């Protein structure tokens, strides 16, 4: 009987501990603090001018690709001799390749005006991959035409383009897409080793080594994802405007339980009671609206209509 009583006491202690934890969580989530904690300042280096930003050229290359539906064979085109259909597709997109080469020749790259969150629109990830695949298909055409050095230079430009996409603080999706673009270019570069001249190979080796030094590792990309989530939660609970944070052209300031997001038809406003619930609804509306934003959005630094 004493053993049964001790078991019941232990069970009650566990239940009381769980109940206290649940009540504590509810209190933290629903009761606003006496004073808002200070926000972390988000300072960014001065943005490059559009004429210096590689994204200006890359965005124009992507705009050229969007003039028609991307064929399904594009990702495998560089693996074998090109067909007449593939030659015709490449002939329709010389501007995309010109802009890719011009962007890869620039030293600065940035497409966010401010540190992004989960509701910030990002580029079309499939389109980013297609541009690298277009470059490797054109490189295959150049090799077949007897110009392996030009093919190697284009593949190196595609490799640099992939590295540019891995901008820190953009979460995991863009670094993963960047890794895919680099893998596409690296496969083409490896296939060119037997045909290019020694000077061209030396230039490509130096360029690849430089890009590998710039490419963030898995730990840096994961830390970038955590920072993105932190900024999203901070904006949801503390608002998007505060002294010391960067000015925003895409999101409005939030004060006293009031928040707004791009594309939301009305702000989440009112007294501070229940403000996490209202800010959460605004976040969801912003995320839903961002999927239908006209591509590319005006919030991308350096983009201008082609």
Which tens digits make up the pLDDT trace of 12-25? Answer: 888 999 999 999 88
**Is position 108 within any domain?**
yes
Q: What is the pLDDT of residue 230?
A: 87
Confidence of residue 241 (pLDDT cuts 50, 70, 90): low
**Is position 118 within any domain?**
yes
Q: What is the pLDDT of residues 59-114, one digit of tens each?
A: 999 999 999 999 988 988 888 889 999 999 999 999 999 999 999 999 888 888 77
Q: Domain residues for 148?
A: 54-222
Do the Cβ atoms of 232 and 119 come closer than 8 Å?
yes
Residue in the block written with tokens 């991307």: 70
One domain, residues 123 and 95: yes
One domain, residues 59 and 156: yes
Residue in the block written with tokens 């350096």: 302
Beta strands in the chain (DSSP E): none
One domain, residues 234 and 217: no
* Closest to 34 in 3D by CA, of 272, 240, 236, 245: 272
- List phi, psi (to 5°) of 108: -115, 145
Residue in the block written with tokens 């284009």: 154
Q: What is the pLDDT of residue 10?
A: 85
Tell me the pTM: 0.67
One domain, residues 82 and 109: yes
One domain, residues 273 and 254: yes
Residue in the block written with tokens 């490059």: 48
Rounded Cα distance between 63 and 296, Å, is 9
């Amino acid at each position: 009987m004493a053993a049964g009583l001790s078991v019941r006491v232990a069970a009650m202690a566990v239940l009381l501990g769980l109940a206290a934890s649940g009540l504590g969580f509810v209190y933290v989530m629903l009761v606003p603090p006496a004073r808002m904690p200070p926000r972390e300042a988000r300072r960014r280096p001065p943005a490059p001018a559009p004429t210096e930003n590689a994204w200006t050229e890359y965005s124009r290359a992507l705009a050229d690709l969007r003039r028609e539906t991307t064929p399904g064979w594009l990702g495998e085109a560089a693996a074998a001799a090109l067909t007449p259909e593939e030659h015709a597709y490449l002939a329709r997109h010389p501007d995309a390749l010109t802009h890719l080469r011009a962007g890869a020749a620039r030293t600065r790259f940035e497409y966010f005006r401010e540190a992004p969150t989960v509701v910030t629109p990002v580029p079309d990830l499939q389109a980013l991959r297609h541009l690298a695949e277009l470059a490797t298909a054109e490189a295959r055409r150049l090799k077949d035409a007897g110009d392996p050095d030009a093919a190697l230079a284009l593949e190196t430009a595609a490799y640099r383009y992939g590295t540019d996409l891995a901008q820190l603080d953009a979460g995991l999706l863009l670094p993963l897409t960047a890794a895919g673009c680099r893998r596409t270019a690296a496969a083409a570069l490896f296939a060119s080793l037997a045909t290019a001249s020694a000077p061209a190979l030396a230039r490509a080796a130096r360029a690849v080594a430089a890009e590998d030094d710039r490419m963030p590792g898995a730990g840096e990309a994961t830390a970038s994802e955590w920072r993105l989530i932190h900024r999203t939660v901070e904006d949801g609970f503390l608002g998007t405007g505060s002294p010391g944070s960067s000015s925003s052209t895409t999101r409005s300031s939030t004060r006293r339980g009031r928040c707004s997001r791009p594309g939301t038809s009305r702000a989440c406003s009112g007294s501070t009671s229940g403000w996490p619930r209202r800010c959460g609804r605004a976040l969801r509306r912003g995320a839903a609206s961002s999927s239908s934003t006209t591509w590319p959005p005006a919030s991308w630094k350096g983009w201008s209509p082609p």
